[in-house]
Amino acid sequence: MTLAIAAAGTAVGLLTALKALVEYREQGIQKRTEQFLDLRYRFVTNEAFMRLADLIDLANQPETEKDASDKLAVLPLHEKRRYVGFFENVALAVNSKAVASEVADYMFGYYARACWDCDAFWSGEMGNKVHPYWALFATFCRDMKTQQGVYEQRCSDEDYIRTVFRF
């Protein structure tokens, strides 16, 4: 009788621990989802970010480069810093494993890479993009360029897409 009670107690304890692990995992997924959606919302609803993204795109195209570069040159330094700072927040989320690097690249990588490659963005007060102050952003852009290459090679693999693009 005592052995049966002990076995039942052990079984209940194991089931409780298993349930706690499942709930912990689900909470982690929910937290990562919320963090990602918050980042995405902050990016797409920020008018200054959208204006900067458009100007950077135009500055990176030969036919519209001059006009866009002139507009980028007169933008306040604090707008440019906030823009780069946003991508540094994304990089921190990736480094903390709150957002997968593949997801960060898919949603934000294009904009970060375009900014890094836009000489007009880095002219004037913004200064040298390889300055130690921008090391996190530089590393993030380098990682996103690498991630883009992996994605381009594997984007037709549906199993890869289903496995990687989830919370």
pLDDT of residue 15: 65
Residue range 145-161: average pLDDT?
77
The answer to whether residue 129 sits within a structural domain is yes
Backbone angles phi, psi at 68, to 5 degrees: -65, -40
Residue range 40-63: average pLDDT?
94
Alpha-carbon distance values, 63 to 58, 59, 60, 74, 121 (Å) = 8, 9, 9, 20, 17
Q: How many residues does the chain have?
A: 167
> What string of DSSP letters covers 5-26?
HHHHHHHHHHHHHHHHHHHHHH
The answer to whether residue 9 sits within a structural domain is no
- For 82-114, how does the pLDDT look when each residue is reduced to its tens digit (9 = 90+)? 999 999 999 999 999 888 888 899 899 999 999
The answer to whether residue 43 sits within a structural domain is yes
pLDDT of residue 114: 96
pLDDT band at 158 (very low <50, low <70, confident <90, very high): confident
Range of the domain at 67: 36-164
The answer to whether residue 103 sits within a structural domain is yes
In the chain, the number of structural domains is 1
Question: What SS3 class is residue 118?
Answer: coil
153 has a pLDDT exceeding 90: no
The answer to whether residue 128 sits within a structural domain is yes
pLDDT of residue 27: 63
The answer to whether residue 53 sits within a structural domain is yes
pLDDT of residue 156: 75
Residue range 36-55: average pLDDT?
93
- For 4-41, how does the pLDDT look when each residue is reduced to its tens digit (9 = 90+)? 777 777 767 666 766 666 666 666 667 778 888 888 99
- Of 116, 96, 113, 91, the closest CA to residue 39 belongs to 91
The answer to whether residue 66 sits within a structural domain is yes
